[in-house]
Amino acid sequence: MYQAPRGTTDILPHDQAYWRYVEKEVVNICRLYGYQRIDTPVFEDAGLFVRSIGEETDIVEKETYSFRDRSGDLLTLRPEGTAPVCRAYLEHGMHNLPQPVRLYYITPLFRYERPQAGRYRQHWQFGFEGLGSSDPALDAEVINMACGLYRHLGLRDMVLKLNSIGCRNCRPQYLKSLREYYSRKVHLLCADCKRRLERNALRLLDCKEESCFPLTEQAPKSSEYLCTECKGHFDFLKKYLVILGLEFDLDHRLVRGLDYYTKTVFEIYPPGEKGAQSTVGGGGRYDNLIEEIGGQPTPAVGFATGMERMILNLKRQNISAPTLPQPTAFVAFLGQEAKDKAVAYAAQMRREGISVILASGNRSLKAQLRHANGLGAACAIIIGEEELREGMIVWRDMVKGEQQRLSFEDALSLVRSRESGGES
Ligand code: ATP
Ligand code: MG
């Protein structure tokens, strides 16, 4: 027996209501803010991710699914959504459009992680990007849109954490003091952090090891090293967030797991969560990324949120998704001749846009109606031997359990009137 690969899940029909609900709100929020959908390939040139996410990050070091195809090209299954969007922005000359360009995606991602609740090797993200503007109002828009999505979904008490990690000009000075600070504590660091100290000091703040936690508490804060421009940007952003009525916690440990961020970084947590897989979404500004992958310097800001983690939190907060439409009608029959009629009736109903399930095989009427019940059909059309002889059908209201003998045409108008009666 085969099983789904470790860390992957099947999204079964009974789970789809949540997925469609979240998707609907995603599409709605994107419409409200004027973001357009983009779909990029599931795999990209491996170099794109190494270049953009950064060689010294967990994602590139330990989590990518990379392979050579039959022509020897090195490809990587997409581990995040931003770099491919930037690649497409460049490849299709979107820098020639009015800026900023606003794009969104809903897509599966692949990361070789240790599977646990809310952490998978294939998961889905909804993300959106505003490309081609350095205006802090765009950062505020992205944050407001992220919070707005959770609000529309009904999620309560989400916590917004915010930080600024500076830019090329001010970060070196900050990294220097960070390194100095951690060098004095090197004997207390975990093995990963010892290496981070050498190669990517910012990541030290991001360490998930409990033993490193007290150290990061006391570490120098990036917000105290910002250059005039970054500080001004951050001040404007905070002002806009206040205007928008968004509460935020400043968190100097917040750096995010990818190297490409500059200035603004933010994450959104469900209430009372501190665990390793607790963020529901995060984002930030990445002013150097597009240049890094071969374009002109292009400031940009974006956000991504895990579909599974949104659904997990909806369930935790006892928020149910609207049920999906059930089939309207079920067509049951007794005997071969009736079956011929049933095939024709079902086809005619579908031509009229009515959703129909046709009984299959040659089971007893009772078994067929049990099936109709299980499917949640609103009504059934039953063709027995007698009905067949008289050119009639039995129309059954599956909810009330009442039935009556009608012509097929009359039954059809009944079904039609039920459908237009606002049942969805
Ligand atoms: P984490 O700190 O939980 O590893 P991350 O910083 O790696 O998250 P991002 O790369 O910012 O996450 O991805 C955005 C969102 O995607 C996360 O906030 C989370 O909701 C979701 N996500 C990330 N990795 C996974 C995963 N392996 N399985 C399920 N959802 C995930
Ligand atoms: Mg991660």
Does residue 280 lie within any of the structural domains? yes
Question: What is the structure's pLDDT at 57?
Answer: 81
Q: Do the domain assignments include residue 6?
A: no
Whether residue 18 is predicted with pLDDT greater than 80 in this model: the reply is yes
| Between 59 and 236, residue with greater pLDDT | 236
Cα–Cα dist 22/396, whole Å: 35
CATH number at 17 reads 3.30.930.10
Please tell me the predicted confidence (pLDDT) of residue 422. Answer: 46
107: containing domain: 13-170+226-316
Asked whether residue 397 falls in the same domain as residue 268, the answer is no
Alpha carbon of 148 to ligand 2 centroid (Å): 23
Q: Does one domain contain both 43 and 73?
A: yes
Q: Report the nearest atom of ligand 1 relative to the CA of 305.
A: 15
Strand bridging mode 393-397 / 379-383: antiparallel
**Interatomic CA distance for residues 164 and 251, integer angstroms:** 9
- Residue 123: helix, strand or coil by DSSP? strand
Mean pLDDT throughout 31-59? 93
Note the pLDDT of residue 419. Answer: 76
In a domain, 311, yes or no: yes
Helix (H, G, I), strand (E, B) or coil at 250: strand
In a domain, 2, yes or no: no
The domain boundary, picked from 288, 316, 344, lies at 316
Give residue 252's pLDDT: 93
Beta strands in 234-326 (DSSP E): 249-250, 262-269, 281-285, 300-306
Q: What's residue 274's pLDDT?
A: 59
pLDDT at 256: 85
CA 77 to chain centre: 17
pLDDT in tens, 352-399: 999 999 999 989 999 999 999 999 999 999 999 999 999 999 999 999
Q: Are residues 126 and 17 in the same domain?
A: yes
Tokens 């660091």 label which residue? 189
Is residue 339 in a domain? yes
Taking CA atoms only, the protein residue closest to ligand 1 atom 5 is: 257
What separation in Å is there between the alpha carbon of 304 and the centre of ligand 1?
8
Q: Which residue is it, tokens 């991710």?
A: 49
What separation in angstroms does the CA of 6 have from each of 3, 10, 72, 197? Answer: 8, 11, 27, 33
One domain for residues 387 and 240: no
pLDDT at 421 over 70: no
Residue to mutate (ligand 1; options 57, 58, 85, 123; most atoms within 8 A of CB): 123
**Residue 177 has what pLDDT?**
94
Does position 277 have pLDDT exceeding 60, yes or no?
Answer: no
Per-residue pLDDT tens digits for 107-122:
999 999 999 989 999 9
Q: Which ligand is nearest to the CA of 53?
A: 1
Q: Is the Cβ atom of 222 under 6 angstroms away from ligand 1?
A: no
The answer, yes or no, to whether any atom of ligand 1 lies below 6 A from the CB of 304, is yes
Q: Mean pLDDT, the chain, as a whole number?
A: 94
Q: What is the pLDDT of residue 423?
A: 43
Same domain, residue pair 135 and 156: yes
Query: Is 310 in the same domain as 336?
Result: no
pLDDT(269) > 70: yes
Q: Are 349 and 298 contained in the same domain?
A: no
Say if residue 384 is in the same domain as residue 305. no
416 neighbors 352 (Cβ within 8 angstroms):
yes
Distance 380 CA to ligand 2 centre (A): 50
- Higher pLDDT pick, 260 / 393: 393
Higher pLDDT, 208 or 339: 339
| Model pLDDT, residue 155 | 98
The CA–CA distances, whole Å, from 212 to 203, 220, 254 equal 12, 14, 14
List, for residues 311-357, the tens digit of each pLDDT value: 999 999 999 999 998 899 999 999 999 999 999 999 999 999 999 99
pLDDT band at 276 (very low <50, low <70, confident <90, very high): low
pLDDT at residue 424 is higher than 50: no
* CATH at residue 402: 3.40.50.800
What pLDDT score does 275 carry? 55
Do residue 74 and residue 119 come from a single domain? yes
**Burial letters for 163-200: b for 16+ Cβ neighbours within 10 Å, e otherwise?**
bbbbbeebbeebbebbeebbeebeeebbebbeebbeeb
- Position 146 scores a pLDDT of 98
320 vs 21: CA distance, rounded Å: 9
Name residue, tokens 């899940």.
9
pLDDT tier, 260 (very low <50, low <70, confident <90, very high otherwise) = confident
Mean pLDDT within 8-27: 97
Residues 312 and 338 in one domain: no
Q: Is residue 153 part of a domain?
A: yes
Give the span between the Cα atoms of 284 and 167, in whole angstroms: 12
Q: Which of 274, 293, 316 is the last residue of a domain?
A: 316
Domain count for the chain: 2
Give the separation between CA 418 and CA 415, rounded to whole angstroms.
Answer: 5
Instruction: Let me know whether 335 and 284 are in one domain.
Output: no
**Residue 268's pLDDT band (cuts 50, 70, 90):** very high
